[in-house]
Amino acid sequence: MHDEIELVQTEDGLAVLGNTDLVASFLTAYGLEGVPGTDLDLPKLSTNLNTSAGVLAQGSELAANSGRWMKLTVESAEAAKTLPMVMNSTSGASHAILRAADGKFAKNLQFVPTAAVELANPAMLAGMSGMMFQLALEQSLKEIADYLAAIDEKVEDVLRAQKDSALAEMIGVALVLDEAMTIRSHTGNVSEVSWSKIQNAGLPIATTQAYALRQLDAISEKVTKKARLGDLAKNAPKIRTAIQEWLAVLAQCDQLQDAIGILELDRAMDASLEELEQHKTGLRAAREKRRALIMHTTTSLLTQIEATARKANTRVLLQPIQAKAVIVPANASAEQIIDFQRLLGAELSREAIDAKRWLQAVAEAKDAVVDTTLDHAQTLKEFGEETQGKARVSRSAFLRKVSAKAAALAGPDEDEVGTSDGPGPDEDADTSV
């Protein structure tokens, strides 16, 4: 294997196994040296392989090599597409063995089809797949830690000041899990003593997660389309802070659940590689279900916040101060939610709902007034022409009536006696003008 590298790809990332120099050369050739990842603990995997029948030689060979796991990013996924990977129907993992030319790797690597059978060993793939899932969970722990460190420092103070029993238990569990992870990093395994301390830690974390989700649901109910703009403007800063705090609680819950998962996989690996594969499958399903629930709640809140911000945007002319006081915190809260959802693996993008400047709103209103005035002017013109026409008709009728009155007062002409259109002797004369 001195001139070959083995590749294993799962939904958790890409693993490169082989001679240290060749692994480094491969990563450089494909531009993967900067992709988030970590070194594989091949000696640990080889120990477990040595306990499985029929793979003793392969386990020993693994221990003599190095490996690198990389998160499945855009770069690593594109690189994997160019490789002649073969999928194993049992584990679902893809694998390949590539041979270097003179110890150097280029894009045109030679695929070794006969050697691929060696890597297709179910025990080998189960162990590698389980270890890669562990590394993906560890990468998630780091990303959540960075997320919590990046947000406002006062959030941690608020969390530690909480008197709710659910949060208090979560903080206690966090301390115990941190201790177990520290011991694991030094010993390479999870002892019975460490396991006894954390095996019941899942319930307090789940309780805290449910509590945080209910708090976000309550915030969503407050931020309704029917809420008055003035009330929203007054409460917007508090709402923004509360959202950030409960997102931080959810992030920490997810972090602790992943830590428990890492420890569970260690225990399963120590038992058997078959049990490791089964537990990994169940653990992944539970994790996806947990995150789907969080995504549902936070998406509902995000939808409500954006609807409220858009409504406030329509009131910027009449209530400029209140509208801005709602829109600016709403934008910040929406970005907080989206950043949190990206942390959980969601691919999202969003354009901020920009608060309209008052002058811009005035200009838009002015344009609307001008358009309305022009419409009214046209209407008045048409009305005037119509009225003028009616006036001409009325004037003619008026003149005819005056003429008739004058003729009646003067009496009939001699030539027109008996033919006058004036009133008869028994009729009253029309004296109205």
Query: Does residue 165 or residue 308 have the better pLDDT?
Result: 308
pLDDT given for residue 259 in this prediction: 96
Average pLDDT over every residue of 405-426: 43
User: What SS3 state is found at 33?
Assistant: coil
pLDDT in tens, 279-321: 999 999 999 999 999 999 999 999 999 888 888 888 877 788 8
Q: Which amino acid type is present at position 206?
A: A
Distance CA 134, CA 94 (A): 18
Distance CA 84, CA 235 (A): 57
Most trustworthy range by pLDDT among 82-96, 135-149, 156-170, 358-372? 135-149
Alpha carbon distances (Å) from 347 to 141, 144, 308: 19, 16, 24
- DSSP assigned state of 370: H
Query: Does residue 114 or residue 5 have the better pLDDT?
Result: 5
Provide the mean pLDDT of the chain: 74
Residue 356 pLDDT grade (very low, low, confident, very high; cuts 50, 70, 90): low
pLDDT given for residue 433 in this prediction: 29
Distance CA 106, CA 363 (A): 61
Q: How much of the chain exceeds pLDDT 70, in percent?
A: 64
pLDDT given for residue 339 in this prediction: 92
Residue 6 pLDDT grade (very low, low, confident, very high; cuts 50, 70, 90): confident
Residue 56 pLDDT grade (very low, low, confident, very high; cuts 50, 70, 90): very low
pLDDT given for residue 253 in this prediction: 94
pLDDT at residue 264 is higher than 60: yes
pLDDT in tens, 196-232: 988 889 999 999 999 999 999 999 988 875 678 888 8
pLDDT given for residue 98 in this prediction: 77
pLDDT given for residue 423 in this prediction: 42
Average pLDDT over every residue of 95-124: 58
Distance CA 190, CA 181 (A): 8
Average pLDDT over every residue of 376-389: 53
Lowest mean pLDDT among 101-105, 227-231, 330-334, 397-401: 397-401
Of 142, 144, 141, 125, the C-alpha closest to 15 is: 125
Helix (H) or strand (E) holding 207: helix 202-222
pLDDT given for residue 396 in this prediction: 57
Average pLDDT over every residue of 235-257: 92
Query: Does residue 38 or residue 160 have the better pLDDT?
Result: 38
Can you give the pTM of this predicted structure?
Answer: 0.73
Of 213, 239, 208, 237, the C-alpha closest to 298 is: 213
Residue 51 pLDDT grade (very low, low, confident, very high; cuts 50, 70, 90): low
pLDDT in tens, 315-347: 877 788 888 888 888 888 999 999 999 999 876
